[in-house]
Structure 1
Amino acid sequence: MKRRTAREKALQALFQIDVSNTEPASAIEHVLEGESGDDYLVKLVLGVVEHKEEIDPLIKEHLEKWTIDRLATVDRNLLRIAIYELKFAKNEVPENVVLDEAIEIAKIYGDDQSSRFINGLLSKVKHKLLNE
């Protein structure tokens, strides 16, 4: 499975976990629809779930006049995936690739404003992480 596909499936699984409190393994199995598993997909979903308490404050810190709960579920989980990759998988994927992929996926699954919003917030988070 290509990494783009793994990211899209991870977004779908995290959406399901976020909306209906599904167990991660069950959500992953559901989005695979009988296909064979993918290590990167599993790593993204479990990584976001495991590090959510560290990821969400980075999102909240860069929101202006907004709360994380008011974000569209797609945007919130796409940000979580990208921040997980920026912070915890930084040696695996170049930062610009993480941002580009998140923006492209936002264009597919988000609304008209999603890609610009994702780009702006991730740019701020990337800058903050580089300066830590």
Structure 2
Amino acid sequence: MGATGALRPTRDPVKQPGTRHKARQRAVDLLFEAEAKNVAALDLVAQRRELVVDDESIGMIHPYTARVIEGLATDRAQIDAVLESHLREWTLPRLPAVDRAILRLAAWELFNTHDVPPVVVVDEAVELAKELSTDESPAFVNGVLGRIVELAPQVRAAAQATAPAADPDRE
């Protein structure tokens, strides 16, 4: 077909550049807010979903944001234990809250996502630290995740080995 009649492939909105980044940023925001308010992040997600029905300015919760929050609700103790064991000269409670949220998000992604390469997870976490935290945070986040990323293949393999065969996220 000519240039004016050419068919263009449709894009999956989940795969468009920036969509997952925004979903990650919203997840960090919700994790930070939940900690500041001392409430469960899952409760905030449910609350936002109810509020958006009447007030579109609240903004929809992206499915990936909800997936991360739900995953962290399930795996938080294990994620925190891994983070604690890979911090040098710091403890998790001493970290800035936004750095804690970024590290939790990235560690969960490293261990649980099969469609995002580990290098992308680390790059995204560093970018979030640049956008949301202190000048020192990107290097700190990169260092911690650089130590954790070596565990990701083993954790993913173990999870796949114990997962039910019909789990669509494991295909």
Confirm or deny a common fold (TM above 0.5): yes
Counterpart of 2:132 (choices 105, 109, 121) is 109
- The answer for the alignment partner of 1:14 in structure 2 is 31
Moved segments of 4+, more than 6 Å: none
**Equivalent-residue separation in structure 2 for 1:79 and 1:36 (angstroms):** 24
- The answer for the alignment partner of 1:42 in structure 2 is 66
One-letter amino acid matched to 2:73? V
Alignment of 1:4 with 2:21, yes or no, is: yes
Matches within 5 A, 1:1-132: 2-28=19-45, 29=48, 33-89=57-113, 91-130=114-153
What percentage of residue pairs aligned between the two structures are identical?
Answer: 32
Q: TM-score, normalised by structure 2?
A: 0.70
- Greater share of residues in helix: 1
Contact 2:42-2:73 at 8 Å conserved across structures:
no
**Equivalent-residue separation in structure 2 for 1:72 and 1:104 (angstroms):** 16
Q: Which has the larger radius of gyration?
A: 2
Q: TM-score, normalised by structure 1?
A: 0.89
Cα-Cα RMSD: 1.8
**1:131 shift after superposition:** 5.3
**1:109 shift after superposition:** 0.4
**1:24 shift after superposition:** 2.6
Aligned length: 130
**1:129 shift after superposition:** 2.9
SS of structure 2 residue aligned to 1:64: coil
For structure 1, the 5+ residue unaligned runs are: none
